[in-house]
């Protein structure tokens, strides 16, 4: 969900620079930074964001310089006279009431509305050339994210192939472990039967079945294969799949954890750990998809 796009313009009376950038985010957080006088652009920009984006911390900003005053505000005589008159009345009232007011300097005067204005103010509305660039800016942004998304899709496809290979190794290792564990369990049961004159064969058989079920990783392997198929299906479908893939990565990790906890062998545990590392890498990539 990272992305960046920029546009610049110049219509003779002013020049401007657009920027649109995003960072990863679970939802869509769209922020707009516009100079004074350009507030009318915000509804248009939010509509474009809603139409094109679904995730990410996205910030759109515009910088504008009006050549008429080289970007500097100028003192407005009428506004300054009105401010001075109002200040005189306030000082007189304060003096009559016995209050002492702190002296006001030139910098304080400039903060009074109407004292400064001119070159940096846009009084005739948003220039059409600036407004016309909003859809183009979002189109560039989306194109950049699509290019990045295609590259990430290829990376994830390769990682899924590695996951599938590890699942195959886990299947082979689990089958070999099952053959060995059956002999080990039978030896333990025989030892218990020999050690106890009151052993219940039915109870021992039941315990043996419970142990066998707890050690069976067939379901985890089957679900991992299903998750691989689901992830490939999402990548092939395209569109805004980031949230779905993020959820799928959680399910991948859940099965890998269970595989490790039920492994019963160093070799199978190592395969499970390799799966967890790879799944974490995939999840990092998925955060960059919308």
**What is the model's pLDDT at position 121?**
43
**What is the model's pLDDT at position 232?**
93
Q: For residue 10, which phi and psi values (nearest 5 degrees)?
A: -155, 120
| 132 lies in the same domain as 111 | no
| 132 lies in the same domain as 149 | no
Residue 1 near residue 23 (C-beta atoms within 8 A): yes
**Assigned token pair, 186:** 């039978």
| 108 lies in the same domain as 166 | no
**What is the model's pLDDT at position 70?**
44
C-alpha distances (whole Å) from 180 to each of 68, 173, 186, 215 are 87, 11, 10, 12
5-23 pLDDT, tens per residue? 999 999 888 899 999 998 8
| 108 lies in the same domain as 175 | no
Q: Which domain holds residue 39?
A: 3-68+126-144
**What is the model's pLDDT at position 47?**
94
- Rounded Cα distance between 239 and 233, Å, is 12
Q: Which residue's entry shows tokens 């198929």?
A: 229
216-273 pLDDT, tens per residue? 778 889 999 999 999 999 998 887 788 889 899 999 999 999 888 887 778 888 999 9
| Residue with more model confidence, 208 or 230 | 230
| Mean pLDDT value across the chain | 82
| 168 lies in the same domain as 101 | no
Model confidence at 113: pLDDT above 50: yes
**What is the model's pLDDT at position 28?**
86
| 180 lies in the same domain as 255 | yes
Q: What's the total number of domains in the chain?
A: 3
Residue 163 near residue 228 (C-beta atoms within 8 A): yes
**What is the model's pLDDT at position 119?**
46
Q: How confident is the model at residue 199 (pLDDT cuts 50, 70, 90)?
A: low
Percent of the chain surpassing pLDDT 90: 35
| 78 lies in the same domain as 151 | no
- Indicate the range of 160-169, 244-253, 281-290 predicted with least confidence: 281-290
| Residue with more model confidence, 141 or 107 | 141
| 162 lies in the same domain as 257 | yes
| 151 lies in the same domain as 259 | yes
Q: Is residue 49 packed enough to be buried (19+ CB in 10 Å), middle (13-18) or exposed (0-12)?
A: buried
| 211 lies in the same domain as 246 | yes
CATH number at residue 265: 1.20.140
For residue 119, the 8-state DSSP code is T
The answer to pTM > 0.85 is: no
| 202 lies in the same domain as 256 | yes
- Indicate the range of 77-81, 150-154, 212-216 predicted with least confidence: 212-216
- Rounded Cα distance between 289 and 53, Å, is 11
For residue 55, the 8-state DSSP code is S
**What is the model's pLDDT at position 48?**
94
CATH number at residue 49: 3.30.230
Model confidence at 289: pLDDT above 50: yes
- Rounded Cα distance between 42 and 60, Å, is 10
| 41 lies in the same domain as 107 | no
Q: Is residue 71 packed enough to be buried (19+ CB in 10 Å), middle (13-18) or exposed (0-12)?
A: middle
Q: For residue 197, which phi and psi values (nearest 5 degrees)?
A: -80, -15
């Amino acid at each position: 969900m990272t992305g960046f796009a920029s546009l610049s313009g110049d219509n003779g009376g002013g020049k401007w620079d657009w920027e649109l950038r995003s960072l990863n985010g679970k939802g869509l957080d769209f922020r707009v930074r516009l100079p004074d006088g350009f507030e009318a652009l915000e509804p248009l920009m939010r509509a474009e964001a809603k139409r094109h984006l679904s995730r990410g911390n996205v910030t759109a900003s515009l910088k504008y310089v009006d050549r008429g005053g080289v970007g500097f505000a100028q003192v407005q005589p009428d506004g300054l006279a009105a401010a001075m008159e109002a200040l005189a009345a306030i000082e007189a009232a304060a003096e009559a009431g016995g209050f002492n007011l702190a002296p006001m300097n030139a910098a304080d005067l400039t903060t009074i509305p109407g004292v400064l204005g001119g070159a940096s103010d846009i009084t005739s509305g948003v220039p059409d050339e600036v407004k016309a660039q909003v859809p183009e800016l979002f189109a560039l942004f989306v194109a950049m994210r699509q290019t990045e998304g295609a590259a990430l899709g290829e990376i994830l496809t390769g990682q899924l192939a590695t996951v599938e290979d590890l699942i195959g190794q886990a299947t082979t290792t689990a089958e070999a472990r099952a053959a060995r564990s059956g002999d080990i369990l039978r030896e333990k049961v025989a030892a218990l039967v020999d050690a106890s004159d009151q052993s219940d064969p039915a109870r021992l058989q039941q315990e043996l079945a419970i142990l066998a079920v707890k050690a069976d990783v067939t379901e985890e392997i089957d679900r991992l294969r299903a998750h691989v198929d689901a992830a490939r299906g999402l990548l092939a479908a395209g569109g805004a799949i980031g949230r779905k893939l993020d959820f799928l990565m959680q399910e991948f990790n859940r099965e890998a954890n269970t595989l490790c906890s039920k492994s019963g062998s160093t070799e199978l545990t190592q395969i499970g750990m390799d799966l967890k590392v790879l799944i974490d890498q995939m999840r990092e990539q998925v955060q960059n998809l919308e």
